[in-house]
Amino acid sequence: MNTATYKYKWMLLSAIFINMQYATAQDEQPVFSSQSMQQLFLNDIIEDLNNVSCKGDVGLEHLGKLLEFFALHKKDYTNLKMVFKLFSNRYKGVEYISAKKLSKFLENLYTHGPNCTHVAFGQGLLYDPNSFERFSQEVKTCLIKDFSEHFTDFKKNPESFIGNIANKITQQVEQEMELISMQQTVVRFLEITISKIIWSPYEQEKTWESMQHLCKQFVLLLEKNIINNIDELDDLLWSLIHRYCYFVDLTGSLLAPNFYERVLRDLKNEKLLISIVEEQDDLLKPKILFLKEKIITAQAKALSGSDKKV
């Protein structure tokens, strides 16, 4: 499949998605709603994902649109997890992912992610340091409420009454475990995409601005409970920093002196986001120091010309 055909097939899928959105908003039947048509479009997506000639970010912008679809229709959690797994395995084989496209996808993720499934990202109980205490309190609240309101039922049929309470607690635990599993799937997907990010050296300082913006977006994912905890945020930030350092190592001779001056000046600013997020690994250099040393090394190579290919 050539690039033009691939592009227009995804445009068609986007048009179908927009039609479904509009029809739902107007309480009308979507034009493309039959099982056969849905299967056809699914086959198209699978065909495109299996197209080995596509070396870049296959359909990342449309994955963002799928998030909108899940948020709109509250599709089953397992379907969303399957979509992320599908794209994760495909992206393991691509050569690059545009930083701009990833940023746009992250915007969709923290905007629509909390509304995507019946297991709402933002309603987890087990994702913070006080999770077990809070979960214990939830169980106590459930017991007190049921016993105070239905004590007569307990006296009539204690086994059935206790069974109902046990089912409620089990459902809560199952939802929590589903949430954690979904979060882990998202983190694996993000780690894969970060490892493939590219920037254009001709954008100079804008690449640095892009990198900082991605950091902010990862923090938003934590705030929205789309990623599970500060440790996972720390891992994502380290992955992003290593990828950006790799970019600077490769393209250092193409980066202007103003670029290095801007980055080093910003790194001295204590309000820079990567310096505000608390370090999680005491045995490693702080991110800000690691990045500073890498930039200084690249700057020295660029000035001496030692990084230019012979």
| Residue 250 scores a pLDDT above 60 | yes
Q: How many domains does the chain have?
A: 1
Q: How far apart are CA 20 and CA 25, in angstroms?
A: 9
226 falls within a domain: no
Q: How confident is the model at residue 203 (pLDDT cuts 50, 70, 90)?
A: very high
pTM recorded for the entire structure: 0.75
27 falls within a domain: yes
28 falls within a domain: yes
Q: How far apart are CA 244 and CA 262, in angstroms?
A: 15
237 falls within a domain: no
185 falls within a domain: no
Q: How far apart are CA 40 and CA 23, in angstroms?
A: 20
Q: Which has more pLDDT, 113 or 127?
A: 113
Report how far apart, in Å, the C-alpha atoms of 144 and of each of 71, 148, 163 are: 34, 6, 15
- DSSP three-state, residue 166: helix
Residues 46-58 pLDDT 10s? 666 666 556 666 6
36 falls within a domain: yes
23 falls within a domain: yes
Share of the chain above pLDDT 70, in %: 69
Q: How confident is the model at residue 227 (pLDDT cuts 50, 70, 90)?
A: confident
| Residue 164 scores a pLDDT above 70 | yes
12 falls within a domain: yes
Query: Structural domain of residue 7, as residue ranges?
Result: 1-54
